[in-house]
Amino acid sequence: MRGMTNSAPSSPINWSVLKTLFPYLLEFRTRIALAVVCLVLTKLASVGAPFILKHIVDALDAKGANQLIVMPLMLLLAYGVVRFSNVLFGELRDTLFGRVTERAMRRVGLAVFRHLHALDLDFHLNRRTGGLSRDIERGTNGISFLLRFMVFNILPTLLEISMVIGLLLWKYDPWFALIVAVSVVAYVSFSIFATEWRLAFVREANQAESSSSTRAIDSLLNYETVKYFTNESFEAQGYDENLEQWEQARRKNRLSLFALNGGQSLIIAAAVTSSMVLAALRVSQGSMTLGDFVLINAFMMQVFMPLNFLGFVYREMKGSMANIENMFALLKVKPAVSDTADAKALQVSKGEIEFRDVRFHYTPERGIVNGVTFTVPANKKVAVVGSSGAGKSTLFKLLFRFYDVTSGEILIDGQDIRQVTQGSLRSHIGVVPQDTVLFNTSIFENVRYGRIAATDDEVWKAIGMAHLKDFIAELPEQEKTLVGERGLKLSGGEKQRVSIARALLKQPEIMVFDEATSSLDSQSEKVILQAISEISHQQTTLVIAHRLSTIKDADLIIVLDGGQVAEQGTHGDLLRRNGLYARLWEIQQHASSGEPSV
């Protein structure tokens, strides 16, 4: 069913993905060093506070007026300073390391964004937009959690526990240290076991959330199609099925969390109670003072409060690792189309395009282009026509290197396009696609997207050439009118004219029109065809067309049939041959006149 994904994997977390984070931390070496210093000072203050508290209690319990007034007051002041230092250094640590975390999230997020744009068309045709967005969001949030808590909470907590055990062994009955050590080992072991057990539920919940998000976004992006076929109930039912799976996954996650928290609380309660009973017994025997009893109690709180937090951190860390694993898996996806190691920038002197025995297939069983050979002379207009599925648009995708040819060559001014950089190749080609998608911004800015650095006058000139001025003048906000997501506020013809203006503004040496006038009315089509005719004398123009009436003036017409060149010549030559082109022309002429074709 649409929007469904595979169940959550049960394989262990790949901890090696953390290595990818290290380069992002090196930008702020000084900040990290200062944060570590603050961390050490925080833990020293944290461990020292119970000793001051012990002496305060002993001083208050002692007899003597001077001790009763002077000594506790000094110790209380010292205790206040230590507690304040603990908080102060902790805040300084978080403030210093916050910049590191935020910059790492920014760098990783940018790296993933750039990588997604570098992937080939096939990846984006098969992607799940909603699920992909959630994977990136959860992955970057997971990085924040790991950097802030794993490095500055887990290891420091374990260090603090080691210090407490050492102090208990040095100053008190070894049984206290044994109780702490055993309870810590039991707590950590139980937390690891239970967390590993419930990790599958965390992943299942995340997967269900991604599925429901994907389903919702997919449905909303195709809002018009849903309305065309009155399938609102079907879409709602499908979305509810995804939400039901999310609900069940969340219930399992919640129940497993209850079991984990209950077990951890039981271990903590048993450890604290055992240590307090032993301390009370030693006080009653006279081997420990009341201050020692308070110190033991403070140490137990000191150990188990961060240890309880350690359990939370570990649980969340495992979930974050699953999210980071998904995000970094995107970085491991290799594009099917990539630049060679010695790729150079394309040098366009004339703009001649040559297809030499070009073959291409998506699968070996189904060939799309089967040995196509023809030349598009510089500053000439060449049209490629044929019935649906003949391979017309595929030739454009191969020229633009959305895909690489299976065999053969495509050359521009004698340079194999596989040997030049993709960026330089595409910078010399302007495209007006059949399916125009616009950004959710103003009409003016959508046109300017063709050349970001263009002046307003240049943008208006392109708008004029695309027959858009009159339409813009009629809008309430004129050129500032927002076009809506994917340009849904505009008609098909209006979007196509924006696309034409955008391509004209780019001013490339090569122009490709892929069914560029298919959504235009007759009057607009006439104006656009005139503009195309004018620029075709200044640029090499490749027109992929279905309506033959739009390409009668082409210098050369290539007729494709079954992925091969069936005929080529001018409009008049092809009609005189009375072949495939002539039959297509006759069919379209009869269709436009309303007469049945025979």
Cβ(498)–Cβ(438) under 8 Å?
A: yes
Separation CA 582–CA 595 (nearest Å): 17
Please identify which residue in the block is written with the tokens 């690891």: 192
What is the pLDDT at residue 519? 59
Q: pTM of this prediction? A: 0.63
What is the pLDDT at residue 180? 82
Domain 15-332 has CATH 1.20.1560.10: yes
Cβ(528)–Cβ(447) under 8 Å?
A: no
Radius of gyration (C-alpha) of the chain in whole angstroms: 36
- Domain map (residue ranges) of the chain: 15-332, 339-428+512-592, 437-507
Please identify which residue in the block is written with the tokens 């001051």: 52
What is the pLDDT at residue 3? 42
Separation CA 357–CA 405 (nearest Å): 10
β 540-544/381-386 pair status:
parallel
Separation CA 454–CA 10 (nearest Å): 53
Of 150, 154, 145, 37, nearest to 96 by C-alpha is 37
Same-fold call for 15-332 versus 339-428+512-592: no
Q: Which amino acid is at 321?
A: M
β 510-514/540-544 pair status:
parallel
- Which residues, including other chains, have CB under 8 Å from residue 79's CB and lie 6 or more apart? 49, 52, 53, 56
Q: Which amino acid is at 353?
A: I
Q: Which amino acid is at 308?
A: N
Cβ(403)–Cβ(578) under 8 Å?
A: no
Sort 363 into a burial class: Cβ within 10 Å, 0-12 / 13-18 / 19+. exposed
Separation CA 177–CA 190 (nearest Å): 20
- Which residues, including other chains, have CB under 8 Å from residue 54's CB and lie 6 or more apart? 289, 291, 292, 294, 295, 298
Secondary structure class of 520 (helix, strand, coil): coil
Question: Which CATH number does 339-428+512-592 carry?
Answer: 3.40.50.300
Ramachandran region, residue 7 (left: φ > 0; alpha: ψ -120 to 50; beta: rest)? beta
What is the pLDDT at residue 4? 40
What is the pLDDT at residue 70? 57
Evaluate the CA torsion angle 412, 417, 419, 423 in order and state its sign.
positive
What is the pLDDT at residue 127? 61
Secondary structure class of 554 (helix, strand, coil): coil
**Tokens describing residue 255:** 């129940």
What is the pLDDT at residue 62? 62
Cβ(570)–Cβ(555) under 8 Å?
A: yes
Domain 437-507 has CATH 1.25.40.10: no
pLDDT along the chain (598 residues), means of 10: 41 62 75 79 72 68 54 69 76 77 78 74 63 73 75 72 78 82 85 76 78 81 78 83 82 80 83 83 79 76 71 69 75 75 84 88 77 86 80 82 86 88 85 78 83 83 79 79 69 76 83 73 67 71 82 86 84 86 81 48
Length of the chain equals 598
Please identify which residue in the block is written with the tokens 């961390």: 39
Which helix (H) or strand (E) segment holds residue 357: the answer is strand 353-363
Separation CA 581–CA 203 (nearest Å): 57
Sort 461 into a burial class: Cβ within 10 Å, 0-12 / 13-18 / 19+. middle
